[in-house]
Amino acid sequence: MESPFEVLGITPDADDGEIVDAYRERVKEAHPDQGGSASEFQAVKTAYERLQNGYEPGDPLPDETPEPEPESPPEPDDPMVEFLNFEVLEDHGWALEDEDLFEKAAEAGLRSADFGRFYVDPNDTLLEAAEKNGFAWPFACRGGACTNCAVAVVEGEMPSPASHILPPELTEKGIRLSCIAAPISDDAKIVYNLKHLPEVSELLLPASRFEQASSTD
């Protein structure tokens, strides 16, 4: 869009007298009765009015005014968990100890059940949060008496309650039971479905022993 100076055919350093003279000349030329058009006539009038209102070179014109950026919806204050299914590690040649494990997972085009994110509501365990978000993670007792729901905390804080079956060597490695624990850090990265991890599989219980138990093949 042309600036008011361009519409009136003057330079930005024109004084008030030159602006008035240019306007009088251009408004005659632009008038429909003189061969101009209604839109051109209006453009000349608008240009003059803008200069009278203090327009300066470089000021944004009405249709060039940047649209205000929409405000991003506030993110929940609840912890956000990024998760990965342990079963896909072998398929891709990954290891639980890989420092870039989640970066590789993000680029692998995994199913939403194998890799994704969700928020954990206050007072919910990690397992409950997964279920609320539509995921069927393995579990059995829901009381810390087995390792069917074990997860590995790769990043973040997820304290383990005192009453559980996990031996110290597993908790020191970041293994937690999702049925009784929940993240307390803003963000956490966890690997779920650890039943094929040897030290975890030794403490599994048959899901059939517990009502409404679930497991993944």
Query: What pLDDT is recorded for position 105?
Result: 96
User: Looking at the domain covering 4-64, what would its CATH class be?
Assistant: mainly alpha
pLDDT category at 71 given cuts 50, 70, 90 is very low
Query: What pLDDT is recorded for position 126?
Result: 96
**Highest-scoring range by mean pLDDT, 2-6, 58-62, 209-213:** 2-6
Single out the residue of 205, 193, 202, 197 nearest to residue 141, CA to CA. 205
Domain with CATH 3.10.20.30 in the chain: 80-209
> Is there a contact between 174 and 153 (Cβ–Cβ < 8 Å)?
yes
Regarding pTM above 0.75, the answer is no
Residue 187's SS3 state is strand
Domain with CATH 1.10.287 in the chain: 4-64
Share of the chain above pLDDT 70, in %: 84
Residue 102's SS3 state is helix
pLDDT category at 64 given cuts 50, 70, 90 is very low
Other C-beta atoms lying within 10 Å of the C-beta of residue 22? 21
How many angstroms separate the most distant Cα atoms in the chain?
96
Query: What pLDDT is recorded for position 66?
Result: 47
Fold of 80-209: Ubiquitin-like (UB roll) (3.10.20)
Enter the tokens of residue 149: 């729901």
pLDDT tens, residue by residue, 85-118: 999 998 999 999 999 999 999 999 999 999 999 9
